[in-house]
Chain A
Amino acid sequence: SAVISQKPSRDICQRGTSLTIQCQVDSQVTMMFWYRQQPGQSLTLIATANQGSEATYESGFVIDKFPISRPNLTFSTLTVSNMSPEDSSIYLCSVEHRGNTEAFFGQGTRLTVV
């Protein structure tokens, strides 16, 4: 299993500012993922965070808007840059061990942009 600590749990931010979300895992994992969950919707993958290389972004998401760091096998950050009200969502980090037996999730960050 894996225990993920995600911070902050919630924040209210002014438009035009940036917020960095942190995920700390209690074990070394190869693959970490960042998701966005808009109100009442399913999870949409933003990017895959790879240790030692740049993140791989999904269609519709760009590095300038959502820069990601992955300095080691237990930690990653996602920054939501130049925020607008449309960025108000829940952001979740996730890890999977090899074999696809289960994915583990952080507690989520509820972001409100005003």
Chain B
Amino acid sequence: AQTVTQSQPEMSVQEAETVTLSCTYDTSESDYYLFWYKQPPSRQMILVIRQEAYKQQNATENRFSVNFQKAAKSFSLKISDSQLGDAAMYFCAYSNTPLVFGKGTRLSVIA
């Protein structure tokens, strides 16, 4: 069975600085998707970024980028120029219909 591990229960970052959230996963599949979801206090799950496993190029979405290492089964999220609105729970997820989620990382942004 696929598993997703987020080893950082909590992280903090100064406003305008950069932070990296870690995620590792386990699978025997060769083709799959990986996701980072953000959950602010409003509870709404918001897709931050998506990576297709067969694409070697790391996905980017504005201030958000990933470091996808397929052989190492690692999928970290980098947030650049952190903003107060980035404070939230971040979940790494693996596509298996339904998604398999990690335990989450609570990110605090310090003004």
Contacts and interface: CB of A to CB of B under 8 A. Distances in A.
Contacts, number: 48
B8 to A, nearest CB: 13
B85 interface: no
A45 B42 CA distance: 20
Nearest to B50: A102
Interface string A87-114: 0001010101000111101011010000
Majority secondary structure, A binding face = strand
Max chain A CB contacts within 10 Å: which of B50, B96, B98, B102? B98
A100 B54 CA distance: 14
B103 interface: yes
Contact of A43 (B35, B47, B91, B95): B91
A53 interface: no
Contacts of A31: 97-98
Max chain B CB contacts within 10 Å: which of A100, A101, A110? A100
B99 interface: yes
Counting chain B residues whose Cβ lies within 8 A of the other chain, the interface size class is 20 to 34
Interface in A20-60: 31, 33, 41-43, 45, 48
Nearest to B33: A100
B44 A96 contact: no
9 contacts: A42-B103, A45-B98, A94-B99, A96-B97, A100-B33, A100-B97, A103-B35, A107-B42, A107-B44
Interface of A: 31, 33, 41-43, 45, 48, 90, 92, 94, 96, 100-103, 105, 107-108, 110
